[in-house]
Structure 1
């Protein structure tokens, strides 16, 4: 057996909890030097201080919160992490949103000197996301970043829609916090289905079975209609455990993405066919 080099050996030592705590320590301990300030004295500040004094009051996602400490308390974000994946994702999401605003918005307003640990912090976050198989989805207009499991189909559909709120619904469905939240998943599914209703009513030739199945699930899983009582009542849905209903919502979500991608690829194929014909007839 060939000897493993030191880099292969080191990669096997990667520990998610250990690396998350390194990120948390860097985030809390990094000191940034600011001169020529707008609203505060020149000096050395933490990442959260820079954020609070130069962005927090105008941040679109601030809500009623007055400080990072207040927000972290309500989110239950610890300073030290254990083997709790929900806490890790939530903590990363908090750090990334603040770091993005500090890096993008503040550097152009202040003469800021970042320590060498700052780019290392950003790189370590990227490495951890790779190990978690998560990715950032940036909504610049709303000044927010969400973390979602990597889903090539969801990313592809979100990229081809020209409506940001639909892209957000598509990507948010995968968010870690929505596991078990059937009401929110139902709302997102309806938003996606309503946006693509014209497509669902006019299936692509050769793929009608997929569109028919999507419409059937939308009509009979307590989504478009009240299937728990009245004329549209479905006993199987009434008796279905919440975990099973969520499973079928997740399957419907994937089916909706597939239907949208079929349309996009049919259009792409036609454009390629037209080009091939022109090339052959040259």
Structure 2
């Protein structure tokens, strides 16, 4: 029997409940060192305390919250809960606070401690185990966590920034049941690839036909609610989700056809 390396043993012992507990501890304990350039003194505090003192009031995503404690309360963050949704919500909160530190408090005015670096690394490791990825929307000063989707990631990589954001945001848990927002995101994706969907690709016309049909019938592009008046919200959301997958598939057909054509040309050049 092959002996496992010490690194394989550590990986196999990974416990999500234990790891989120360590992250909770690090978030409250990890320090930032802030240098005052006027009096040459330095202060230190937890990342949350430093952000609340210096940046929270101007953060675009604070809503009407007056401080971090109020935001935690409104988000329902409870460190004794370990359900997937509970973990994702507090990781998303932590990452938004960390992102403010990383983008607004640069070196040499602010210095990360070792615990802060470990906190960032451990969050990334946990997200890998949960199969989630980080989506940063810089203009809105917002960080979201979305489930990893190979198809969504592949299409996002070849899309404009705005469309890529729409593709990745579609999977965010907060959009469950939000038909208006899903409709808006689907329209953004469609508009970038409208020409592709109209022209189609030989051998795959039925996929493009069905995708265009859903665009027209599901009140995505045209104001035709009469077509879907017999669907309840749950059924409509299911069809929105199906359309989303078809849109991704059609774009990937094009991308892979181009890859196949490129390989074909390369093989010809070798003869």
TM-score when scaled to structure 2? Answer: 0.85
Partner of 2:92: 93
Q: 2:51 maps to what in 1? A: 51
Corresponding residue number in structure 1 for 2:155? 157
CA contact (8 A) 2:30 2:119 kept: no
Gaps in structure 2 of 5+ consecutive residues: none
Cα distance in 2 for residues equivalent to 1:245 and 1:169? 19
| Residue of structure 1 equivalent to 2:182 | 185
Separation of aligned partners in 2, 1:144 and 1:9: 36
* Structure 1 residues 179 and 270, CA gap change in structure 2 (3 angstroms): same
What is aligned with 2:238? 247
Who is 2:121 aligned against? 123
Aligned-residue Cα RMSD (Å) equals 2.8
Q: Shift of the alpha carbon at 1:47?
A: 0.4
Partner in structure 1 of residue 26 of structure 2: 26
CA contact (8 A) 2:31 2:112 kept: no
Could you tell me how far apart the structure 2 residues matched to 1:38 and 1:272 are? 61
Residue 241 of structure 1: CA displacement?
A: 3.9
- Does residue 75 (structure 1) correspond to residue 79 (structure 2)? The answer is no
Structure-1 separation of matches of 2:112 and 2:128: 28
Paired position in structure 1 for 2:145? 147
Q: CA deviation at 1:175?
A: 0.7
Question: In the TM superposition, what is the alpha-carbon distance from 1:200 to its structure 2 partner?
Answer: 1.2
The normalised TM-score by structure 1 is 0.82
Instruction: Provide, for residues 217-265 of structure 1, a one-character-per-residue CA deviation record: whole Å limited to 9, x for no partner.
Output: 1222333345543xxx3xxx44434333222211110110111122222
For 1:56 and 1:39, the matched residues in 2 are separated by 24
Q: How many residues align?
A: 271
Q: For structure 1, which runs of at least 5 residues remain unmatched after alignment? A: none
Distance in 2, matches of 1:260 and 1:208, equals 13
Contact 2:219-2:225 at 8 Å conserved across structures: yes
Match of 2:210 in 1: 213
How far, CA to CA, are the matches of 2:102 and 2:91 in structure 1? 16
Q: Matched residues in 2 for 1:108 and 1:141: separation?
A: 22
1:224 aligns with 2:215: no
In 2 relative to 1, CA 111–7 (structure 1 residues): closer, same or farther, beyond 3 Å?
closer
Contact 2:31 2:115 in 1 (8 A): no
